Structure 1
Amino acid sequence: MNTFPKINIWSISEKILFRFFFTYFTLFILFKNNGAYPFFGYISELFNKFLHNFIPWVGKNILGITYKIRVGPNGSGDTTYDYTLIFTIALIALLSTIVWSFLDKKTKSYSKMYYWLTLAVRCYVGLMLINYGMVKVIQLQFSAPSMSRLTQTYGDSSPMGLAWTFLGFSKGYNLFMGIAEVAAVLLLFRRTLTFGLIITLMTTANVMAVNYFYDVPVKILSTHLFLMCAFLIARNFKTLWEFFFLRTPIALTDIYKPILKKGISKAMLAFKVLLLGYVLGYGTYSTLESKEKYYGNSSKSILRGLYEVDEFKLNDTLISSSNKTKKWKYLMIDGKKYAKIKPIGKKSQWYKLTVDSTKNKLILKNYRDTLEIYNLKYTEGDSTNFYLKGTVKLDTISIKLKRTKDYKKKFLLTNRGFNWINEFPYNR
């Protein structure tokens, strides 16, 4: 591979674009690091307090946002705060570019600064995708369809919920996606950078498409990962075009690397090895630990199962299936802390679950209605029959249920399996 000469001359447009992207990507990596860099959270505490006051001010006084801008994390990466932050970063980058271009008219190129910027961007994209890839390889991000999903109709699911069910259904597809994302490790080495970018550009484009078209609230991050890959591969775009479409013999250009002292070069190499060891080693360990915590056997309730209501009595009166405001259809228990009740003709409702196995007691507390508390005593009959009896508010209830421990066998989606031979499409 060829390297850039130590001194080259950039065009005016190249210098202006570099000034903008240098400021924009630097601020984005600082303010929206998303855990890409290890231990960066400690650094972000230095400026987050300021941003949590400044960004809402920008939203109110510059963008004219009238409602309160929430600053705390809530699982979404596309909040009003996030978009206002991106607007602020873009505005600062634009003003910086104007001032920088006005003050700096003599510099012929920014080859050294370009190297350090690409190093920061390569590490950001690479480490971010390695983290995302690991949780897919171990199938933590997209878990297998739960009881709640399997008893939910397609029409009741959100676009994001449908995507999570589709992606989580297959362990093999999770592994495929995970390997494609972990391949971003190639971005961390200059010799494999271009090959890694070809893979990663397509991977981030697919992630971005899913986030956009299934309304997943990670649009900002996925868009920037794609843009960063496009920025990195742009220097070789013309060369790749000639190779793939014009059949022209080409030589890829490497990123010019400043000459560093021997001790500094060795220190950087050692740091890279330690960084990869930490990300891959500790990342794998922590992901496995998280999977066991949230989906392992230790997280399951002793009453785990899908309970289909056979008989439902309220105040000793048998409730028919036509009484949709009272009768349950399913009781779903999986983890130790939560349960879900699906009434007939109504949406499912989550409850806080408490089980006392020594007294055969089960308590369900409605998250929305604090007065709705089921105090129940459970009795197990034969292998399938299960009985609940107790009170809710001022009423007494008595329920007979059919318990299915291995609930996956009950649904076509999870018992169909893989078939090499299909004489006809099995599309249900």
Structure 2
Amino acid sequence: MENEGRPAPRWSRAQLLAFRFAFVYLILYYLPFPFGAFPYTGRVAQKYESLWHQLVPWVGRHVLHLSYEILTSTNCSGDTTYEYVRVLCFFGLALAASLVWSMLDRSSSNYQRMHAWLRLYVRLSVGAAMLMYAGAKIFLQHFPPPNLYKLLEPLGNYSQMSLLWTLMGASRGYTLFVGCLQMLAGILLFLPRLTTLGALVGIAVFSNIFALNLGYDLPIKIYSLHILLVCLFLVLPDAPRLVRFFLLNQEVASLSENGLFHLRRLNTAALVAQLALGGVLACTYLVHAYDYEKRHFSPASRPPFFGIWNVEEFLLGGKVLPPLETDGTRWQRVVFQFPTEIGIQSMNGSWMGYWLRADMAGKTLAMGKPNDSNGEFEFVFADPDSRSLTLEGTDGRNEIRVKLRRLDEKQFALLARGFHWIDEDAALVQDEEGVCDRVRQTGGPLPAR
């Protein structure tokens, strides 16, 4: 596996320094992997992260003199001040370590074997990340179809991030395509001889992802940039050969892979371990993502009255309230999207969320505002069908009777049309800006407000 017959090349000082910096930085960035990726290893990963939870805020206070405290807890953002300062810490430590390393080691002419080990670690780290993202896209953990609330949200109220999430979720085919490409890149990175091919696929995929993160302000810019940079790092040794072959139309010789060990048996064992690791991670991420989809998006996960329900008649205290657009009391719509939550939109467009408890056997429905015992509603219903529902009950002060009719979601243009190979020009409409669309033909009117 290793080319023992040829003399080892001598690296320049710049190459030696660059490798020392990259070695320390990449190890720091991708630790604690593989801890945390397997069962019973999360405790070690938490211990490692807790060290940075102490160091990063200290750097923010005493080195950077930030005017605010760095929060270590995150919800879903990977671009917090904590992450930027931590990357700065990695950079500073890698720079200092590479300088000290250069002073202590003046005799080494190259780090070929260490380079092989570094490539192993980062390609497995990035390969695992790609497999995780792939499983999330294949099984709706990322970019699920637009939910009922998204269908009712005016386009102008969308953030850039929400718009991208809805855009991707609206096209199951494209999401599957991206997920399969990420799965392909991840699998290839677990095969040493196909590392360059996997990195090239990763560059193509994550160039697009990083551009989307920048253009739509998704809070995973740091992480996606690092995956892209690692893919470039993995391609770098073969870059001159790729240029000669594809751009200069020159013949290139085959290149022997530097082995991790001197003994062939150990290299074979390492290869088997990599393949086993990739297989285990791929199966684990796919199973977890499938379980997530089954729990959140299967028909069994839906509430009994799933759908958007327009309010046809609303009686409060025995009095019919007319559908005035300025009225904040009369209901306009009721949305059953989640099993334990219900959303109610008033005529003035405002939304209120309530907890929901439905008893289908007893034909009762209770709901209320979180942490407010005075805002509870108790309703009964009798023999509802798939399109109509009548609720009768009280809010504790007044009797309420609500007649509901379910909206057909297919009247939304976003859901009305599937894929077509043939698109006749007569089916399209060109607006004042020269943009072609078919919304007026197939979408129909939006639900009345």
Percent same amino acid at aligned positions? 29
Task: Please point out which of 188, 191, 196 is paired with 2:190.
Answer: 188
TM-align CA RMSD: 2.6
Task: Please point out which of 320, 334, 338 is paired with 2:337.
Answer: 334
Task: Please point out which of 302, 311, 314 is paired with 1:309.
Answer: 311
| Residues 225/348 of structure 1: CA separation in 2 closer, same or farther (3 Å cut) | farther
Moved over 4 A (4+): 1-6, 31-40, 367-371, 380-383, 393-396
2:362 paired with 1:346: no
| Residues 396/252 of structure 1: CA separation in 2 closer, same or farther (3 Å cut) | farther
The TM-score, its normalising length taken from structure 2, stands at 0.87
The separation in 2 between residues aligned to 1:175 and 1:53, in whole angstroms, is: 40
The TM-score, its normalising length taken from structure 1, stands at 0.91
Q: Which segments of 5 or more consecutive residues in structure 1 lack a partner in the other structure?
A: none
2:197 paired with 1:209: no
Cα deviation digits, residues 196-246 of structure 1 (max 9, x gap): 221111111111111121121111111110010011111222222222222
What is the CA distance between 1:80 and its match in structure 2?
1.9
The separation in 1 between residues aligned to 2:149 and 2:175, in whole angstroms, is: 21
The separation in 2 between residues aligned to 1:22 and 1:399, in whole angstroms, is: 66
- Aligned counterpart, 2:156: 155
Task: Please point out which of 325, 343, 352 is paired with 2:328.
Answer: 325
The separation in 1 between residues aligned to 2:357 and 2:12, in whole angstroms, is: 68
2:28 paired with 1:27: yes
Task: Please point out which of 208, 225, 228 is paired with 2:227.
Answer: 225
What is the CA distance between 1:359 and its match in structure 2?
2.7
**AA at the equivalent of 1:237:** A
Does structure 2 retain, via aligned residues, the 8 Å contact 1:315–1:395? Answer: yes
The separation in 1 between residues aligned to 2:358 and 2:213, in whole angstroms, is: 38
The separation in 2 between residues aligned to 1:86 and 1:396, in whole angstroms, is: 59
| Residues 393/152 of structure 1: CA separation in 2 closer, same or farther (3 Å cut) | farther
The separation in 2 between residues aligned to 1:355 and 1:138, in whole angstroms, is: 29
Does structure 1 retain, via aligned residues, the 8 Å contact 2:355–2:368? Answer: yes
Cα deviation digits, residues 92-138 of structure 1 (max 9, x gap): 11111222222222211111111111101110111110121122223
**AA at the equivalent of 1:366:** K
Does structure 1 retain, via aligned residues, the 8 Å contact 2:2–2:258? Answer: no
The separation in 2 between residues aligned to 1:213 and 1:294, in whole angstroms, is: 29
Q: How many residues align?
A: 426
The separation in 1 between residues aligned to 2:3 and 2:352, in whole angstroms, is: 61
**AA at the equivalent of 1:103:** L
The separation in 2 between residues aligned to 1:370 and 1:224, in whole angstroms, is: 49
- Aligned counterpart, 1:103: 104
Does structure 1 retain, via aligned residues, the 8 Å contact 2:137–2:175? Answer: yes
- Aligned counterpart, 2:443: none
Does structure 1 retain, via aligned residues, the 8 Å contact 2:259–2:267? Answer: no
**AA at the equivalent of 1:302:** P
Cα deviation digits, residues 302-349 of structure 1 (max 9, x gap): 121211111223333333323342233221112212222233343534
2:269 paired with 1:267: yes
The separation in 1 between residues aligned to 2:242 and 2:40, in whole angstroms, is: 37
The separation in 2 between residues aligned to 1:174 and 1:167, in whole angstroms, is: 6
- Aligned counterpart, 1:139: 140
| Residues 396/59 of structure 1: CA separation in 2 closer, same or farther (3 Å cut) | farther
- Aligned counterpart, 2:410: 409
Q: Which segments of 5 or more consecutive residues in structure 2 lack a partner in the other structure?
A: 430-436, 440-449
SS at match of 1:144: coil
SS at match of 1:195: helix
- Aligned counterpart, 1:86: 87
| Residues 48/115 of structure 1: CA separation in 2 closer, same or farther (3 Å cut) | same
- Aligned counterpart, 2:64: 63
Cα deviation digits, residues 150-200 of structure 1 (max 9, x gap): 111111122111111111112211221111101121122222122222111
Cα deviation digits, residues 273-303 of structure 1 (max 9, x gap): 3212212223322221111111112311112
- Aligned counterpart, 2:377: 374
- Aligned counterpart, 1:12: 13
What is the CA distance between 1:147 and its match in structure 2?
0.9
2:389 paired with 1:390: no
**AA at the equivalent of 1:227:** L
The separation in 2 between residues aligned to 1:254 and 1:324, in whole angstroms, is: 75
User: Which stretch of the first structure deviates more once superposed, 256-265 or 43-52?
Assistant: 256-265
**AA at the equivalent of 2:253:** A
The separation in 2 between residues aligned to 1:54 and 1:373, in whole angstroms, is: 47
What is the CA distance between 1:21 and its match in structure 2?
0.9
